[in-house]
Homo-oligomer: A and B are copies of this chain.
């Protein structure tokens, strides 16, 4: 007599600071999870050992009604097509990290991997505010600016698996120096780090009093800028305005490429809420080509930090469900 087992997936979110593991059901319920420090500055071998231990701790607790059917991984600069992390910034793990292969050697399940922003886009589409939509662009506004583009329900991967790097569209040809070597990349303006740079630019150009004059660049956080803005600090408000103006213009350009139904914003900067969202919508709208005006939504992701595993979980589920119904 057969037993009906419930399919679940193992989801892995690798961040610069923390790695999160989760067992996730088809509805996006997180059945069990673990979190540990990634140790991105240590050699990859050290991570590998800890990773192995944590994964087996997690799956050893799976009860007999559930069965893991696939593994999804989201990681910085991960390439869906090659299964490697390619030159991830802030990681000391080497140039090309064969993460997919490492997981495949650990566990005998199908493994799917993509970059963290692509995974976030799949998560928003299957479990988040993008549910039921077909065409969305997800922007992760954290330390940098990541993006995942969904067209007709599927991620755009591009010719070699690296499409959707909107953090590196150009704002000003001779603009701010970016970590990538180019100048004027969007993420040097629109990200938590970009906002800090804008605050310091404004502080250098003006004489006006500001709460933000008490912070070093190193200590200043996105939250500090938000709080200053809520207290009507002129510098903080201007920094939000400039950031919204730049991003709004670039979102209009993205619409001219893709005509999405909605943008979905996530990450540190998105947590400023209406302070950022309202001017952003207005700036985008004023820069849109006629055919698009009044049609494109701008939404905030409601998922919390612990839900980061829902992105890679969605990647795994997408692949399972495509196989079940080819």
A residues neighboring B (CB under 8 Å): 77, 86-87, 134-135, 149, 151, 156-166, 168-170, 173, 180-182, 185, 249, 252-254, 256-261, 287, 289-292, 295
Contact = CB atoms under 8 A, between A and B. Distances in A.
Contacts of A289: 165, 168, 180, 182, 185
Nearest to A136: B159
Given A87-B290, A289-B182, A291-B86, A166 B257 contact: yes
B260 A158 contact: yes
Contacts of A158: 135, 151, 258-260
Contacts of A151: 151, 156, 158
A259 B181 CA distance: 19
A151 B289 CA distance: 22
5 contacts: A87-B291, A151-B156, A163-B259, A166-B256, A180-B290
A257 B86 CA distance: 18
A182 B182 CA distance: 28
Nearest to A290: B180
A193 to B, nearest CB: 17
A28 to B, nearest CB: 24
